[in-house]
Amino acid sequence: MQVPNANIRSPSYYIAEMQARCAKCGRQARVLALAVPPNHEILVEGEWQNVDGDAFVFYVAELPDAVSRHLFERSPAFRLQQGEDPADSHWINHCEHCAEAFSDDELHCEPGGFMPSRALDAEAISLSRIDEGFSASAAGYALAPEFFASMRRP
Ligand SMILES: [Zn+2]
């Protein structure tokens, strides 16, 4: 079952995990992200299109319960943050020590985080593949991330 406003879907997906430094307390905290393998589909102007590449998915507003449960098992600190406007609600990481939020801009749109600038940094990211259906309503989508092949598959 896909979520009602899905704009991305895939027969399998990855949960990415790494340590990031909290800007508030300065400690290392576990942060999670979602990615999809080649042959996922994205909704473009009302039509599903197949995409032959890996992609990170962020600014996620809706996820199926099964995906939420897998995320919760790895870190309850990655959770849906309700905005004042429901349109602003999305999943974000929080520091496991002080609860400060990590923005998806910081983790996905700037070098470092889930956008490594060299293979060595990519090796600090682990990718767990889950062979279950995935769908999401997401505003952020990074196709063909650099150094994706260097990320660890446990
Ligand atoms: Zn902190």
Which residues of the chain register pLDDT less than 50? Answer: none
User: How far, CA to CA in Å, does 88 sit from each of 80, 82, 92, 122, 138?
Assistant: 10, 7, 11, 30, 11
- 154 CA from centroid of ligand 1 (Å): 26
Structure confidence at residue 88 (pLDDT): 79
- 29 CA from centroid of ligand 1 (Å): 7
- 101 CA from centroid of ligand 1 (Å): 8
Structure confidence at residue 86 (pLDDT): 72
Structure confidence at residue 121 (pLDDT): 95
In the chain, which ranges are E strands? Answer: 8-10, 13-21, 28-36, 40-44, 47-51, 55-62, 78-81, 90-94, 101-102, 126-130, 134-143
Structure confidence at residue 154 (pLDDT): 85
- 120 CA from centroid of ligand 1 (Å): 25
- 141 CA from centroid of ligand 1 (Å): 26
Domain residue spans in the chain? Answer: 8-150
Structure confidence at residue 116 (pLDDT): 95
pTM of the model: 0.95
- 28 CA from centroid of ligand 1 (Å): 8
Structure confidence at residue 128 (pLDDT): 98
- 60 CA from centroid of ligand 1 (Å): 22
Structure confidence at residue 9 (pLDDT): 98
Structure confidence at residue 143 (pLDDT): 97
- Nearest Cα to Cα of residue 107 among 36, 31, 55, 54: 31
